[in-house]
Amino acid sequence: MRCFLAIIFATTMSILAGNPEDRLKPALDVITPDGLLAHIKVLASDEFEGGAPGSKGEELSIKYISDQFRAIGLKPGNPDGSYTQEVPLAGIKSDPKIALIVNSQPNELKYPDDFVASSARLQNEIKIDNSDILFVGYGIVAPEYGWDDYKDVDVRGKTILMLIGDPPIPDPKDPSKLDEKMFKGKAMTYYGRWTYKYEIAAQKGAAAAIIIHETEPAAYPYSVVKTSWAKENYELDAPDKNKDAVQVRSWITLDVAKKLLAGCGQDFDALKRAAVTKEFRPVPLSAKVNVAIKQTLRAVKSHNVIAKLEGSDPKLKDEYIIYTAHWDHLGRHPELQGDQIFNGAVDNASGDAAVIQLAAAFSKLNPPPRRSVLFMCTTAEEAGLLGAKFYAQHPLYPLEKTLADINIDSMNVWGKAHDIEDTSYGFSDLDDLLAAAAKRQARTAIPNSRPEKGSIYRADNFEFSKAGLPSLYIGKGEHLISRAPDAPLRSDEFDLHDYHQVTDEIKPDWDLTGAVQDVDLLFEVGYQVANGDKFPEWKPGIEFKAKRDQMLKK
């Protein structure tokens, strides 16, 4: 790998050195601030209504993106001759009731102020009666950390109550810090995500899984849980109707949890302390739960948009790299006063614009890269990475012949930066290629600035990673050239005021020169992989490596 990198480095240096006869120059010249802005203006316009799956916004978005791919001269990405892959979704609106029974006293909880609950199973009615409740700590089984919260306890048919996040284990040498060797210290691992908690509950055969909400480890207040679960949500409409999912997935507030535990003669803080040790064992509570959920289901046909640039090497053209960015956003909310449209200009019209410009840039290469390059705009990312998940389950090209996913979700729109945040920093060889490319731009690749948010598990790249595919996911340049070094991060200001709000719109202070630099970097990484001599690999110890190694052995 080192030798390969050195050769790539040397050739790319000469290619990118600025010689006008460079083969890459015509490609890179295509990527411009105005070019990006033109696409963003359309995709984030009010007419596109915030791109909710299955809406008029979907029709317009997928038509616009397909038309762009066609105009660039790319082939349809679906072998059936179309530019789309149909993604069957089910809309689920849940109306749940939960009663906790402590000392034979049923206590009905208030929805959605005390709890939310729904089922990924595509059923109109879900019912659980008199199910025993067990507190299972963080609910984690992590062999690489020698961790098993369940031990030999059988939780089949029971209701498991668990903490959000992963165990914050103090460093034995300096207890004021977290142990970097356990659950990556301060950073969130996948074990900390709610999606993991419900997955392990299903694997363990639990009837219901209840997460105790806490603002800090969740990285958001209960109000976010409430608004995101108390509306219609989407799942993939699988032929088995998701019968293997846990029957009931629920969140309760910290207050409700504390009262429940106190009623059972337990103390929340004491249980939480016990849960931060390897010796923890599930604690049966003297409480039971009744759950009844009525669900209204709706079939929604949504679509990924995909195009292909065929590789020039007769042998390698059946190998692929894939660029992804989600086209969907939160749509239009008619109940809002004033502005009702979640335009999603940064999240993720900017990413789609980048993918379209990358497609245009690659198509200027003569000859094309040795391997084929796929460009995909996914659906239903905001609904739980569903378009990417569907592709990973139903790939149009074999994953074992796909070398990498390069995912783009929200570009830096505030000008050039000294650095580039690499959310997947240190995960795979792709991150080394990015770091080297950044260096050639006189920039540095830096790790995720907010690792506790677990961003890497919250974007489409994660579905590809989970399927084994080495994936690169950049954040934004954090230290802008136009700002004082100690000024607050512009991206933090965005997260605070505009992230997932109707105000995520094109703003007068935008400067897309930084986005162009970032797209150039991603072009270079993809170009190197598409022409390289080796498959990029996960670094040793990364949780997705075993899956990839197994896939490539076959």
* Interacting residues with Zn ion (CB under 5 A): 347-348, 409
Cis peptide, bond prior to residue 112, ω within 30 of zero: yes
Taking the complex as a whole, how short is the minimal distance between the CB of residue 451 and Zn ion, in angstroms? 18
Taking the complex as a whole, how short is the minimal distance between the CB of residue 493 and Zn ion, in angstroms? 17
Residue among 350 and 372 whose Cβ is closer to Zn ion:
350
CA 42 to chain centre: 24
How far, in Å, CA of 488 to CA of 417, rounded?
14
Residue among 44 and 283 whose Cβ is closer to Zn ion:
44
Q: Residues 8, 11, 14, 15: what is their CA dihedral angle, to the nearest 10 degrees? A: -90
Residue among 347 and 431 whose Cβ is closer to Zn ion:
347
Taking the complex as a whole, how short is the minimal distance between the CB of residue 326 and Zn ion, in angstroms? 6
Residue among 341 and 437 whose Cβ is closer to Zn ion:
341
Query: Could you tell me which of 539, 369, 378, 351 has the C-alpha nearest to residue 464?
Result: 378
End-to-end CA distance of the chain: 22
Residue among 348 and 379 whose Cβ is closer to Zn ion:
348
Residue among 166 and 347 whose Cβ is closer to Zn ion:
347
Taking the complex as a whole, how short is the minimal distance between the CB of residue 377 and Zn ion, in angstroms? 12
Q: Where are the alpha helices (DSSP H) in 264-413?
A: 268-275, 351-363, 386-393
Residue among 166 and 409 whose Cβ is closer to Zn ion:
409
Taking the complex as a whole, how short is the minimal distance between the CB of residue 381 and Zn ion, in angstroms? 6
How far, in Å, CA of 407 to CA of 472, rounded?
6
How far, in Å, CA of 224 to CA of 202, rounded?
24
DSSP of 173-227: S-TTSB-TTSTTTTSPPGGGSHHHHHHHHHHTT-SEEEEEP-HHHHTS-HHHHHH
Residue among 295 and 491 whose Cβ is closer to Zn ion:
491
**Residue type present at position 83:** Y
**Paired tokens of 244:** 């293997």
Taking the complex as a whole, how short is the minimal distance between the CB of residue 238 and Zn ion, in angstroms? 24
Half-sphere exposure of 150 (CA within 13 A, CB side): 21
**Residue type present at position 242:** N
How far, in Å, CA of 529 to CA of 356, rounded?
19
3-class DSSP state for residue 400? helix
Taking the complex as a whole, how short is the minimal distance between the CB of residue 343 and Zn ion, in angstroms? 13
Query: Could you tell me which of 261, 291, 290, 292 has the C-alpha nearest to residue 101?
Result: 290
Taking the complex as a whole, how short is the minimal distance between the CB of residue 422 and Zn ion, in angstroms? 17
**Paired tokens of 56:** 């008029």
How far, in Å, CA of 179 to CA of 192, rounded?
15
Residue among 85 and 410 whose Cβ is closer to Zn ion:
410
Q: Do 133 and 155 form a contact (C-beta atoms < 8 A)?
A: no
Taking the complex as a whole, how short is the minimal distance between the CB of residue 109 and Zn ion, in angstroms? 32
H or E, element range at 8: helix 2-16
Taking the complex as a whole, how short is the minimal distance between the CB of residue 359 and Zn ion, in angstroms? 19
Query: Could you tell me which of 372, 381, 394 has the C-alpha nearest to residue 527?
Result: 372
Residue among 149 and 422 whose Cβ is closer to Zn ion:
422
Taking the complex as a whole, how short is the minimal distance between the CB of residue 458 and Zn ion, in angstroms? 9
Residue among 287 and 388 whose Cβ is closer to Zn ion:
388
How far, in Å, CA of 49 to CA of 469, rounded?
33
